[in-house]
């Protein structure tokens, strides 16, 4: 009887060791994956996750100045085709102008 129990216990230990090895491989793989993702993802500089911080005044200016320029275009330019062209040009050029005027980091 004791030999039977010893054999079963040995079998249980073998099964447990296999399960532990499988679990250890899973944990190691998960840790490697997380480390890789951490290296590949861009850095989070602020507590809110934004890379570049702009003041409230700058953000308001980024919105208001192009809107005023578009309003002036539609107010003072009589030809509709030219209005549309200048509006599209302002919308496309605004992000580049923000970077040039305010810089990437503020």
pLDDT tens-digit readout, 40-81: 887 666 566 665 678 888 889 889 999 999 999 999 999 999
Higher pLDDT, 98 or 21: 21
Average pLDDT over residues 79-86: 96
Q: Which residue has the tokens 């073998």?
A: 14
Q: Which residue has the tokens 């578009």?
A: 70
pLDDT at 32: 94
Average pLDDT over residues 92-99: 89
Q: Which residue has the tokens 């809110």?
A: 48
Domain edges within the chain: 1-41, 56-102
| Confidence (pTM) | 0.49
């Amino acid at each position: 009887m004791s030999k039977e129990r010893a054999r079963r216990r040995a079998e249980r230990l073998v099964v447990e060791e296999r399960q532990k090895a499988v679990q250890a491989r899973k944990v190691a793989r998960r840790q490697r994956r997380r480390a890789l993702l951490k290296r590949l993802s861009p850095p989070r500089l602020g507590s809110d996750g934004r890379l570049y911080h702009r003041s409230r005044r700058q953000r308001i200016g980024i919105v208001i100045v192009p809107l005023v320029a578009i309003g002036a275009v539609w107010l003072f330019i009589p030809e509709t085709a030219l209005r549309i062209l200048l509006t599209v040009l302002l919308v496309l050029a605004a992000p580049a102008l923000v970077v040039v005027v305010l810089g990437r980091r503020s």
